[in-house]
């Protein structure tokens, strides 16, 4: 029986690398996959799922009004073995429900990869829905970027152009160079948000 999987972490933990490896495992067995990436991130990476270690793969770009269920329903002639979603935090709750329905009705595994919380420590809409509805939750781990800290990073902090911590602003701002990841203790001390 197929399942919906949510692989989550902070930035720089290897989510996209893990997604691309999973896709490769299907492809070497001649199994068809659909890879998706959100429109908001696609422009930054030319429509590719891109890993910081240099791997990349073309993906179907989706907007917030994209209907995953209708897409699969109209492509039933294609035998799909897995659906892989990068930057899953940008899914809407409705889209997560569509992916769950696909999994349940078409018996297609869905593997979502994304960040759990934003730079203020709040859940993204897609992440909240996946935490609620996914069959399996898999945390990918990385370490706090505070000097000499070996705790697991669970929080993402945004920096301004001068490297100062930012605690206000739009939830979504694309660009990996403006973020650092911290354990909750150091995030709390640096941001004052918790």
By annotation, the residues acting in catalysis are 87
Neighbours of 176 (CB within 10 A): 10
Tokens (6 digits) for 187: 């995030």
Q: Count the neighbouring beta carbons within 10 Å of the beta carbon of residue 113.
A: 27
Q: Which residue has the tokens 């701002």?
A: 173
Buried b (16+ CB within 10 A) or exposed e, 13-49: bbbbbbbbebbeebeeeeeebbbbbbeebbeebebbb
Question: Within 13 Å of residue 177, how many CA atoms lie on the same side as its CB?
Answer: 3
């Amino acid at each position: 029986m197929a399942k919906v999987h949510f692989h989550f972490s902070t930035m720089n933990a290897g989510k996209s690398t893990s997604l691309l490896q999973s896709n490769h495992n299907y492809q070497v067995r001649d199994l068809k996959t659909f890879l998706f990436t959100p429109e908001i991130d696609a422009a930054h990476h030319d429509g590719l799922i891109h890993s910081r270690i240099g791997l990349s793969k073309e993906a179907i770009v989706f907007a917030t009004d994209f209907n995953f269920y209708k897409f699969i329903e109209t492509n039933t002639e294609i035998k799909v073995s897995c659906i892989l979603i990068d930057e899953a935090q940008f899914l809407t709750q409705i889209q997560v429900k569509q992916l769950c329905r696909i999994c349940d009705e078409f018996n297609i595994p869905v593997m979502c990869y994304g960040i759990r919380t934003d730079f203020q420590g709040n859940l993204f809409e897609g992440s909240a829905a996946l935490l609620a509805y996914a069959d399996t939750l898999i945390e990918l781990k990385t370490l706090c970027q505070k000097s000499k800290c070996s705790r697991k990073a669970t929080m993402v902090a945004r920096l301004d152009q001068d490297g100062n911590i930012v605690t206000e602003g739009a939830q979504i701002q694309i660009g990996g160079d403006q973020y650092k990841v911290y354990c909750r203790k150091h995030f709390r001390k640096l941001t004052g948000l918790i």
